[in-house]
Every structure is written in structure tokens, then in C-alpha cells.
Amino acid sequence: MTVKTFVWFLLGVAGGFVAAHLVNKDPRGHELLAEVDARIAEFTDRMSDAYREQESRFGGFVDGVKDAASDATSTVKDAASDALDSAKSAAAGAVETAKGVASDVADKASSTVSDAADAVSSAAKKLTD
């Protein structure tokens, strides 16, 4: 904004105040300004009422969205907890099965080694006889 524009703006504002003061001195001008003021007050009251009405509508909508989000979060949390419990159970079962298989393999290996040792011992006795 240039200085010239700013000066014209200030002159306009000052001229408006002077004109309003002169109009307000006259009884007809005073009535006119009072009517304008009443209309402005009515307009601002209507705007305020409309704003409050919209705010209450949106407030209800926002509360509904918050409730839905909370329900969804709770459902996801429960599903994740159930999945974790199932995974723990499956892992525990797999570990027990692996222990059983490892024990069986160890027993069979021990038995096979023992049988092989007996066979070697028996073969060695036959060779020495």
C-alpha cells in the first residue's frame, strides 16, 4: 500500500465520521442512523443464532465420529489381543511338539548307536574267536 493510498483511506474514514456526526445532529438523520443501527443489530443477532445452531449440529456429528472411532479402536485392540493369544498358544504347542520329536529322535539315535555298538562288539568277538 502506498502512502498516497493510505492518506486517501484516512481522509475517507475521517470524512465518514464527520458526515455521520452532521447527520446525527439532524432529527431525521438521527432516526435514520438509529434504524440502520437496529438493522445491523438484528443482522448480527441472526448470524450469531445461525452460528450457534450450526455449532450444535457439528458438535453432535463430531461426538458421533469420536464414539465410532473409539468403538473401532476397541474392536481392533480386542482382535489384536486375540490374535496374539492364538499365536502364543500355537507357538507353545509347536515347542512342545518339537521337544517330543527331538526326544524321540534322541531315543532312537541312542538305541541305534547302542545297537551298532553291540553289533561292532559282536563282530569283534567273532573276529577274535
Q: Does residue 9 sit within a domain? A: yes
Q: Does residue 114 sit within a domain? A: no
Check whether 16 has a pLDDT greater than 70: yes
Check whether 103 has a pLDDT greater than 80: yes
Element at 38 (helix H, strand E): helix 27-128
Residue 43 sits in which domain range?
3-96
The pLDDT > 70 percentage for the chain reads 98
Q: Does residue 22 sit within a domain? A: yes
If DSSP codes are grouped into helix, strand and coil, which group holds residue 88? helix
Longest dimension (CA), the chain: 149
State residue 129's pLDDT score: 66
Check whether 112 has a pLDDT greater than 90: no
User: How many structural domains compose the chain?
Assistant: 1
- Name the pTM for this structure: 0.42
Check whether 5 has a pLDDT greater than 80: yes
Q: Does residue 17 sit within a domain? A: yes
Q: Which of 61, 59, 40, 41 is nearest to 51 (CA)?
A: 59
Report CA-CA distances (Å) from 16 to 1, 11, 20, 21: 21, 8, 6, 9
pLDDT tens, residue by residue, 60-90: 888 888 888 999 999 999 999 999 999 999 8
The per-residue b/e assignment along 60-88, b for 16 or more CB within 10 angstroms, e otherwise, is: eeeeeeeeeeeeeeeeeeeeeeeeeeeee
Q: Does residue 104 sit within a domain? A: no
